[in-house]
A = this chain, B = another copy of it.
């Protein structure tokens, strides 16, 4: 089956946003064994959208169109399609009710402009949106089955998975398996180098850089009988042999969740003292549902005074070594463990920039420490990047430090 993707929106054409939806859609089509033959992006212009649709239905069996289903005046995709193919739109009362209910859950009245989101082409059907107001629309245009989806990624993902995937799946043959290995601690080129001797003839490997992490995505196709799954397992085994504990998890899990599980299994809890990361480590830990079981408290000791008052770091330690030092990091980790009574205390103190660097301690320098009943350790790292990226990698490195220290416990 030949599929075309059409993206609408001035923001895409003007380069305001990068279109990540198309790659996401294309990958799922590919996994189901369908071929995406063409992808077009077009602005919020009724005539242009109509022309693109008319050309596409001549080439493809299925169109997946995204964007322009919102409530505002420049959201015109469905109207443009209806006009181009001479189809009438009707107000679908069930959809109006759904949108009203959505607003009720939000505790707000539905705005008049949302009503146009319930206009469905004759012969078509709405595709439920559980996370937003715009339903998708499925309708046959010419000889092509067309799916209209919102441009907002999370809404598009949900409708695609709920309504488009099953449709595509019914029309596909073969079995596919997909798997993700999550890596932290090595750059992309080094990982690539280490994996170069592995035979990937049965598996498609792609790198996804999600700074500061690298995800390895594996996709295998098979004829059934667990063939695809076996291909994946063989590849995972070979990759893990090369990368060791650089692979911190598999699938949808994130680093803070891996560490959270380790803490829970060991019936331990943790307290965090942060300086340069400014609360980001605490925020990452508490992103995980149920983290209150093991996350005891976080201290963002941004000022030197707060390091003394809240963590008991001595003036002498700060004066002799500076706040960004192995000694201060150790005192902070021990301090937060002592005052909180948590099993583990960790600390991070560094220079995220752009100011505050010196020749001895340039921007990107970070000290972190781990304090537990059985061991206390301090680590120094140097990274490059802007303030935002440094905060990210400092925080991830600290959480990874906990993981590595716990691996042997």
- Residues on A facing B (Cβ under 8 Å): 10-20, 22-30, 36-43, 48, 52, 55, 70-74, 105-108, 111-114, 133, 152, 187-190, 192-193, 204, 206-209, 217, 272, 274, 276-283, 285-287, 289-292, 295-303, 305-306, 309-310, 339-340, 353-355, 382-384, 387-388, 391
Q: Are A30 and B18 in contact (CB under 8 A)?
A: no
List 11 additional contacts besides A14-B30, A108-B187; criterion CB under 8 Å.
Answer: A13-B36, A16-B23, A16-B217, A38-B42, A70-B188, A71-B189, A279-B300, A286-B300, A297-B300, A297-B301, A306-B340
Knowing A71-B188, A189-B113, A282-B300 touch, does A15 contact B30 (C-beta < 8 A)?
Answer: yes
Between A and B, 26 residue pairs with Cβ closer than 8 Å are A12-B26, A15-B22, A15-B27, A17-B206, A71-B192, A72-B188, A106-B383, A111-B187, A114-B189, A274-B279, A278-B279, A279-B280, A279-B283, A279-B298, A280-B283, A286-B391, A287-B387, A295-B302, A296-B305, A296-B306, A297-B302, A297-B303, A297-B310, A299-B299, A299-B300, A306-B340
**How many copies, total?**
2
Whether the Cβ atoms of B286 and A278 lie closer than 8 Å is yes
Q: How far is the CA of A73 from the CA of B40 in the complex (A)?
A: 25
Nearest B-chain residue to A117, judged by Cβ: B189
- A108: B residues at CB distance < 8 A: 187
**Looking across the interface, which residue of chain B has its beta carbon closest to that of A385?**
B131
Residue from A19, A24, A355 having most chain B Cβ neighbours under 10 A:
A19
> A-side binding surface: helix, strand, loop or mixed?
mixed
The answer to whether A14 and B40 touch across the interface, beta carbons within 8 angstroms, is no
- Within 8 Å by CB of A16, from B208, B309, B391, lies B208
Q: Which of B42, B107, B207, B272 meets A382, CB within 8 Å? A: B107
A191 to chain B, nearest CB (A): 9
Q: Please determine whether A277 and B287 come into contact, CB atoms closer than 8 angstroms.
A: no
